[in-house]
Structure 1
């Protein structure tokens, strides 16, 4: 099969590889767990190399797109994912280029690639000014502005999880305070609900919290409402700055459906009062876990 792009999606829990055709269809994919950090950076690379070998065996590809957890540094092609501490300034672009010499290799943040995937083949088709975001164990995002991916100076534009929505808020994993991630990320919502009366089982996560909220648990419902309000405030701010017309939200917390989206839309109507963003739409993502791979392929011009 001709004109296939090899796509890689590198995260803290899994590393995925896929083959994407010119129409954005994911024709094959494989996933392996990301090794623990204590095995070292080269062992993590070995998983990437194994997936590359598996996906290109007997297959000709025209280029490689890489979606990686960040921060990334586009000028050098290196990545320093917060959730892969064994990789600091890891030369992922050069490593892939050396493995597949002569092919174009493009790198992008995982949030940007999610946005690109949804823009190309998912809920964001036709939107010229799009924020794609993931609300899960963290809050991430990426921007498509005037129909094109917006990387920013270093490749890290779109880190909307670190928009400050509470000036007196909690310490965030980024080192700052009051970021939307401190309120709306799944583990933070779960922790807040426990502190306010939710008696969830040990080890319960956002999925169990959503089940409790759907069953009417007051603290669980308040946790979702509180998280939705923080996300709405952030969207209103980013929407005003970037003149957005659409926001697409995926991730584990977003899979709770109306528990998140109903209060989010209600609060967004309260915050987004300027005429040019008053009709800003918010939709659930359509591509699920495949968005990063499809968006990585889109880095090469999909």
Structure 2
């Protein structure tokens, strides 16, 4: 059983041992400040799943949530869900499942960790014992596979590459740090920098900047080169620290294809210089919009086994 909690939608599905999904359902994430309204949407998703004949065969439940998360406490404080601060989602979902006869383990994971679990199970990191997987979208997140195990860390935030500092005197980041990858390479950062440099495209988003870059606009190309350099520096630093041999990048900004991946790979050669990281590959994620639900299920399997 998988539940994917994000700023725009709350989705659920029953995920089978081969990764196929049935009973997929979703609700919009309520806006506003009422935490119970958001939980009500989660409850509706669970109710839809419980109506499926395969409900009784579920053996565990995975929750993938936008972060920050604290898996040691079972709580979430998603930046893009203002109503939830230290919300005990793991406890509440466990109670809701129990009330419907499903007394099964419930595992909480951040969305970057869930995406990593999905890509290692069925996607671009499959077959790699050590991998970094990243989501580059309005924010930048990620997770780690080390020795074929999902390495989530004590609070579930290991691999959060978006808040590695890659610019010593860079601009302040929303996290309180300075020069973070997210402040340079997120979709928001790419569009903001391009506009500040005089770019005047009709669509003031990262997708609009990507379209202009593909058409040869020099400012748009420079914006993606800047983002690619930041990502390359962080990927190389991570690979040097823990010896990953592949970096998988997904998320909305990754949909720009070679507009992003070209600069990342080009700059990577300058940062991944030691012999044990020179062969590091950077590839697109394979699972797209299904990664959230598949990842929630995969994280539940991997973290339950690890525990």
Q: TM-score band, normalised by the shorter chain? A: over 0.9
Asked if the contact 2:3–2:63 (Cα under 8 Å) also holds between the matched residues in 1, the reply is yes
Looking at structure 2, the residues matched to 131 and 158 of structure 1 have their Cα atoms a distance apart, in angstroms, of 8
Correspondence for 2:40: 46
Q: Is residue 118 from structure 1 mapped to residue 138 from structure 2 by the alignment?
A: no
Poorly superposed stretches of 4+, deviation over 3 Å: none
Q: CA deviation at 1:90?
A: 0.6
Distance (whole Å) between structure 2 residues aligned to residue 73 and residue 199 of structure 1: 41
Q: 2:18 aligns with which of 16, 23, 27?
A: 23
CA distance in 2, matches of 1:265, 1:29: 36
Residue 105 (str. 1) matches residue 106 (str. 2): yes
Distance 1:168 1:299 in 2: 36
How far the C-alpha of 1:62 sits from its partner, in A, is: 2.0
Q: Matches of 2:70 and 2:20 in 1, distance apart? A: 28
Aligned to 2:170: 169
Secondary structure, counterpart of 2:171 in structure 1 = coil
- Quote how far apart the aligned CAs of 1:30 are: 2.1
**Structure 1 residue 289 displacement after superposition:** 1.5
Deviations 1:239-269 (A, max 9, x none): 1111101111001110000001111101101
**Does 116-125 or 7-16 show the bigger shift?**
7-16
Q: Does 1:243 align with 2:237?
A: no
**CA–CA distance in structure 1, aligned partners of residues 21 and 146 of structure 2:** 24
Tell me by how many angstroms 1:22 deviates. Answer: 0.8
3-state DSSP of counterpart to 1:19: strand
How far apart in 1 are the matches of 2:300 and 2:170? Answer: 40
Tell me the equivalent position of 1:10. 5
Q: Which residue of 2 aligns with 1:147?
A: 148
Deviation at 1:151, TM superposition (A): 1.2
State which of 81, 84, 90 in structure 1 corresponds to 2:81: 84
Q: How much has 1:200 moved relative to structure 2?
A: 2.0
Cα distance in structure 2, aligned partners of 1:26 and 1:262: 34
The structural deviation recorded for 1:88 is 1.1
Partner of 2:27: 32
Distance 1:179 1:226 in 2: 13
Name the structure 1 match of 2:190: 189
Cα displacement string for residues 205-242 of structure 1 (whole angstroms, at most 9, x for unaligned residues): 11111111111111111000000000000000011111
Distance apart, 1:191 and its partner CA = 1.0
Q: C-alpha displacement at 1:25, in angstroms?
A: 1.7
Q: Name the structure 2 match of 1:3.
A: none
Helix, strand or coil for the counterpart of 2:234? helix
Deviations 1:9-44 (A, max 9, x none): 111122111111011222342222211133x11000
| C-alpha RMSD over aligned residues | 1.2
Alignment pair present for 1:260 and 2:260: yes
State TM-score, norm by structure 2.
Answer: 0.93
**What TM-score does the superposition give when structure 1 sets the normalisation length?**
0.95
Aligned residue for 2:130? Answer: 129
